[in-house]
Structure 1
Amino acid sequence: MREQNLFDKIDLHLIRVLHTVLIERSVSKAAIRLGMHQPAVSAALKRLRDLSGDPLLVRSGGNMLPTDTALRMVEPAANILRSAEALFSDARGFDPRTATRTFRVMANDYLDPLFLPRLVARIKAAAPLCPIEVLPLSADVHYQAHLAQGDVDLVIANWPKPPDELHLGRLFSDEVVCMVSSDHPVVRRGWDRDGWLSAEHIAPTPTYPGAKGVIDLQLDELGLTRNIAARCAHFSLIPDIVASSLLVLTTGRQFCQRFEGRLPVTLLPCPIEFQPLHYYQLWHSRSHHSAAAIWLRNTVREVALSLRKS
């Protein structure tokens, strides 16, 4: 009987507060994410502490840390929220005008810089009540696990060999070109293969030690090595670096074209013929037949198509 009385005191909103507070490790940050006033979150946390018989969050120096009991609650709370989110939405079909489920997309910044802003705008226009979270695809992210656990709906990427165990939807292919400062001597005199290889290049920071990107993997197949003089973990900042240096960026035309006219840069053909860059979205079998996930994937595909036309 006691378990039933305890269960009756727990509602879905309380579970959401629990999960958010434990993830954010801050009442104020949780309040912002939940769209609640901080006193209301504090009151909900007090209820949770009373129900669990545990402080859940304790102060350590200037930070708040979850207790061992709280850490054991994170994954069950996330599972409850995911199950509740999917419980009725797919059973009724997915109506973007009235749906309230959260979409989570993981992507790196190698994409066309207009891609994610347009995607977010398209989702919010068609599904105004659906929150959208764009998550970074970084070296320390195990994206396969996030997809398998339902923490992420899809991943947008351009690796040469995506994992076979995931579903793949192609978005577009892009020609490889070079971006240089408009003051770079090569703009006037041109270059050949050896000139390009010996030029000072800038490339993204490897996702893990020894990892190589698409360009350098293709160079390996040709038995060639370029002179990488600089690396940057933030791909979207590289065009500004190129504009004020003699560094060369080699990547997709669609990405580079967005900076022509905005920065003093020039796009040049690469003297080495690279295979096109292929961009795609990945998702797990668990969401393959989900009406909401299908709608999201179709929206991503439509945005990609619209960018190719602009």
Structure 2
Amino acid sequence: MNLLTGLDALLEHRSVQDAAAHLHLTPPAVSRILGRLRSVTGDPLLVRDGREMVPTERALAMRDEVRELVARAHAVLEPQAVVELASLRRTFVVRCHDALLTSLAPKLLAEFGAKAPLASLRLVSENPTVDRHTGLREIDLDVGSPPQESPAVITRVIGADEMVLVVRRGSTLDVPKPSLTAVAAATHIAVSRRGRALGPVDDQLAAHGLTRTVQATVATVAAALAVVAATDSVTILPARLRDPLPSTVRIRPLPFTLPSSEASVSWHRRHDNDDAHRWLRTLVERTLADSLR
């Protein structure tokens, strides 16, 4: 690149001193560039004629191509132009927890479509067989609980949500304050994409000398709500992430405290300076924050 830039300046100014001024280099440095160019091409390129330097036939033949190559290289290296959303043609891939997706999608798609009508979104669910950190290389954004910390991943925690008990309307646990023993005695539906039945709920119960029965694990919040709506089983979910809530179920407080469920937006650092990506993640962050209020 330095040789091409130097050759372009020398052919333009036909003077080592003037080319040096143009390139913000010293004349000896430009003389060394000319020497390397002559060695590489096997041609003198510029020959002295009195006080001037005259290009050879080889130099004249390559002049336009050299100028074009230098211009193209500069264009590639220049800062990215401000993205024009109205004409943006790009498909963004956003991986999202299914419960978050239910509350996010309507508002997100409405504004996305209004601002970037030629772009599209692929909203995909988490894959339990793919490491979330590794998977971030293949997608634009991850929306859900914060992934494992990594120098290659940027994560912004947008908010947190308390955990609540979801019961069928009219069931024995459909009371203002279900007791600890009643919650432990109920059959539970656990939500886990990886099929994990045990977790913080069991730790809290164990602290009181109690255990629970996990009747089934399901991959989505929607599935858990469907089971609870039709049976006496219960499930424990983040308070704001259970919409739309079936009319046959109710939200009740837990008789113990669980850690809040954090909601975050994460992306691979390779996207950090991408203006179109910056617009998307700002939109997703704002929409997620609104849904957690």
Q: Normalising TM by the smaller chain, what interval?
A: 0.5 to 0.7
Q: Does 1:296 align with 2:280?
A: yes
- Conserved in 2, the CA contact under 8 Å of 1:112 and 1:255? no
Quote the Cα distance in structure 1 between the aligned partners of 2:223 and 2:83. Answer: 38
Q: Which amino acid aligns with 1:263?
A: S
- State which drifts further: 294-303 or 116-125: 116-125
Q: Does 1:246 align with 2:246?
A: no
Which residue does 1:307 correspond to in 2? 291
CA deviation vs aligned residue, 1:230-270 (integer Å, no higher than 9, x gap): 221232222121111111111111023531xx421111100
Quote the Cα distance in structure 2 between the aligned partners of 1:162 and 1:142. Answer: 10
Q: Structure 1 residues 109 and 270 mapped into 2: Cα distance closer, same or farther (>3 Å)?
A: same
Identity of aligned residues (%): 23
User: Residue 102 of structure 1: which of 81, 91, 95 is its match?
Assistant: 91
Q: Structure 1 residues 213 and 104 mapped into 2: Cα distance closer, same or farther (>3 Å)?
A: farther
> In the comparison of the two structures, how many residue pairs are matched?
217
- Conserved in 2, the CA contact under 8 Å of 1:104 and 1:133? yes
Q: Structure 2: which 5+ runs fail to align?
A: 1-75
Q: Structure 1: which 5+ runs fail to align?
A: 1-86
Structure number with bigger Rg: 2
Other structure's SS at 1:243 match: helix
CA deviation vs aligned residue, 1:175-231 (integer Å, no higher than 9, x gap): 1111100021122485322221221110124516x5755645766788864321122
- Conserved in 1, the CA contact under 8 Å of 2:176 and 2:252? no
User: Residue 183 of structure 1: which of 148, 158, 170 is its match?
Assistant: 170
Q: TM-score, normalised by structure 1?
A: 0.62
Q: TM-score, normalised by structure 2?
A: 0.65
Alignment of 1:1-310 (within 5 A): 91-111=80-100, 113-148=102-137, 151-158=138-145, 162-165=148-151, 166-188=153-175, 190-207=177-194, 215=201, 225-256=211-242, 258-259=244-245, 262-309=246-293
- Conserved in 2, the CA contact under 8 Å of 1:94 and 1:291? yes
Quote the Cα distance in structure 1 between the aligned partners of 2:159 and 2:127. Answer: 22
Report the aligned-residue RMSD: 2.8
- State which drifts further: 212-221 or 161-170: 212-221
Quote the Cα distance in structure 1 between the aligned partners of 2:197 and 2:249. Answer: 28
Q: Structure 1 residues 101 and 218 mapped into 2: Cα distance closer, same or farther (>3 Å)?
A: farther
Quote the Cα distance in structure 2 between the aligned partners of 1:280 and 1:222. Answer: 32
Q: Which amino acid aligns with 2:183?
A: W
Quote the Cα distance in structure 1 between the aligned partners of 2:120 and 2:234. Answer: 38
Quote the Cα distance in structure 2 between the aligned partners of 1:269 and 1:127. Answer: 41
Other structure's SS at 1:231 match: strand
CA deviation vs aligned residue, 1:141-176 (integer Å, no higher than 9, x gap): 23323323xx200111115x6333321111221111
Q: CA deviation at 1:111?
A: 1.9
Quote the Cα distance in structure 2 between the aligned partners of 1:285 and 1:134. Answer: 20
Quote the Cα distance in structure 1 between the aligned partners of 2:185 and 2:179. Answer: 10
Other structure's SS at 1:111 match: helix
- Conserved in 2, the CA contact under 8 Å of 1:115 and 1:304? yes
Q: Structure 1 residues 223 and 299 mapped into 2: Cα distance closer, same or farther (>3 Å)?
A: farther
